[in-house]
Amino acid sequence: MVDITDLIKNYTRLQYLKLVPEIRLFIRDDHYLHDMLRQETNNEFVAWPEWAYVWSGGHALARYILDNSELFVGKRVIDYCSGSGVAGIAAALVGASHVTCIDIDPYALQAIQLNAKANKVNVEVSETPVEADIILVGCPSFKTLEGTFPEDQLDLIKSYDKSYLGYKVLRDEYTQAFFKSGEFEIIARKTVPTTVYTEGRTARDVILMSYIKQE
């Protein structure tokens, strides 16, 4: 039986983030971890370890949260498709009353707990969404082949009082073209340091957006 905690600690390194030096995470510096997980678990179909890397959307979102703490103090927050938990940890650091990180990968859920402990904050983990005031979505990857959100994912995002999304700009996809016109507003733009082995380049342009709640 594989001990997930030991595996994460053995195959990642606790590192401070470049854009968010207030946070440190158990992450990798290369792209070999998936093959290592397959060997260690004897499972060819183990999920690709999204949790072991800091993707540009979540990285930028964490920076925004730390720089705008007044928006999150005392709020119930979920970090959806959480991965490493970077956005949720940022919300906990600035005083959110309750943070739940949502992911379906059991390795991610364990990594999030280790990362939260390393940053001296408390977060809960879950495989399904819970009640909250704010939803955070870093680097949303649940898009259709046509480049749009599935309606159920959009409905989920819109069901919360406030939403904050970090999305990396790719090719001709830009601003609200990824979403239905007029439903999201851009609240910030950031250039985020990244790596060739994760995102194919050393920096990514990221837009941060919020859903415009319909009255």
Adjacent-strand bridge partners of 205? 191
CB 101 within 8 A of CB 43: no
The values of phi and psi at residue 159, to 5°, are: -75, -15
Confidence (pLDDT) at 140: 72
C-alpha span between 120 and 168 (Å, rounded): 29
- In DSSP terms, 165 is beta-bridged to 137, 209
Domains of the chain: 4-211 (3.40.50.150)
Tokens read off for 77: 């927050």
CA 211 – CA 136 distance, rounded (Å): 11
- Strand segments (E) across the chain: 13-16, 24-27, 76-80, 98-102, 124-126, 134-138, 162-168, 184-193, 203-211
Cβ burial, residue 145 (10 Å; 0-12/13-18/19+): exposed
Residue that is written with structure tokens 């158990």 in the block: 26
Tell me the pLDDT tens digit for each residue of 59-87.
999 999 999 999 999 999 999 999 999 99
Q: What is the pTM of this model?
A: 0.92
Structure-token pair, residue 45: 């179909």
Burial 128-144 (b: 16+ CB within 10 A, else e): eeeebbbbbbbbbeeee
Amino acid letter, 99: V
- Give residue 77's pLDDT: 98
Residue 19 neighbours by CB distance under 10 Å: 18
pLDDT at res. 17: 95
Burial 181-206 (b: 16+ CB within 10 A, else e): eeebeeebebebebbeebbeeeebeb
pLDDT of residue 61: 97
Low pLDDT (below 50) residues in the chain: 172, 174-176
